[in-house]
Chain A
Amino acid sequence: MGNPVPINAMFDGDFVTQLVLVEDTDTMPQVAEKVAYHVVGRRLPPRDAPMHVRYEGQRVPDDRTVTSAGIGPLHNVYVGYDAKGQS
Chain B
Amino acid sequence: MSKLKREEWYDIYRDVNWTPRYVDHEAIFPEWWSGTGKIPLEAWAEWDEPYKVSYSEYVVTQREKEASAFAVKSALKRSTIFDKLDEGWKSVSKEHYGATSLVEYMAVLAELRMARFGLAGAWRHMATFGALDEIRHAQLDLLFAHEFIPKDPQFDWAQKAYHTNEWGVVAARALFDGLMSNPSAVDTAIQLPFTFETGFTNLQFVGLSADAMESGDYNFANMISSVQTDEARHAQQGHPTMQLLMEHDPKRAQWLVDKTFWLSARLFAILTGPGMDYYTPLEHRKQSFKEFMEEWIVNQYARTLKDFGLREPWYWDEFMRGLETWHHSLHLGVWFWRPTVWWKPQAGISKAERAWLNDKYPNWEQQFGPIWDQLIANVNAGRIDKTLPETLPWLCETCNLPIGTAGAPGHAHHPVRAYSMNYGGRMHHFCSKPCRQIWWEDKDTLHQDTIIMRLLTGQIQPPTVPGILGYMGLTPEVMGDDAYGYAWAKEYVTDTLRQVAKEAAAAGSVPAK
Contact = CB atoms under 8 A, between A and B. Distances in A.
B408 A17 contact: no
A45 B420 CA distance: 29
Contacts, number: 105
A84 interface: no
Interface stretch (A23-31, A36-44, A61-69): A36-44
B446 interface: no
B374 A43 contact: yes
Interface stretch (B10-18, B388-396, B470-478): B388-396
B499 interface: yes
Given A15-B371, A42-B386, 4 more contacts: A13-B410, A18-B393, A45-B373, A74-B429
Interface in A50-68: none
Given A42-B378, A43-B375, A15 B391 contact: no
Interface residues of A, number: 25
B506 interface: yes
A20 to B, nearest CB: 6
A42 to B, nearest CB: 5
Interface string B370-383: 11011101100000
Interface string B255-267: 0000000000000
Contacts of A20: 391
A77 B335 CA distance: 25
A15 B332 contact: yes
Interface string A5-36: 01010100111111110000000000000000
A15 B368 contact: yes
A12 B318 CA distance: 22
Nearest to A13: B409
Contacts of B456: 6, 19, 74
Contacts of B455: 19
Interface stretch (B285-293, B398-406, B487-495): B398-406
B426 interface: yes
A14 to B, nearest CB: 7
Contacts of B35: none
B405 A16 contact: yes
A8 B403 contact: yes
Given A8-B403, A15-B416, A74-B427, A44 B371 contact: yes
A15 B499 contact: no
Contacts of A47: 506
A45 B374 contact: yes
Nearest to B502: A45
Contact of B393 (A17, A37, A42, A45): A17
A73 B505 CA distance: 37
B418 A76 contact: yes
B392 A18 contact: yes
Contact of B394 (A19, A43, A46): A19
23 contacts: A10-B404, A14-B371, A14-B404, A14-B416, A15-B409, A15-B416, A16-B394, A16-B403, A17-B394, A17-B418, A18-B391, A18-B392, A18-B394, A38-B390, A42-B387, A43-B336, A43-B374, A43-B375, A44-B371, A45-B373, A48-B507, A76-B418, A76-B427
B511 to A, nearest CB: 12
B429 A16 contact: no
B244 to A, nearest CB: 43
A75 B402 CA distance: 16
Contacts of A76: 417-418, 420, 427, 429
Contacts of A10: 404, 416-418
B386 A41 contact: yes
B442 interface: no
B206 interface: no
B216 interface: no
Contacts of B386: 41-42
B333 A16 contact: yes
A48 B409 CA distance: 21
A15 B405 contact: yes
Contacts of A46: 503, 506-507
Given A42-B387, A43-B371, A74-B429, A16 B503 contact: no
B452 interface: yes
Contacts of A38: 389-391
Contacts of B505: 48
Nearest to B419: A76
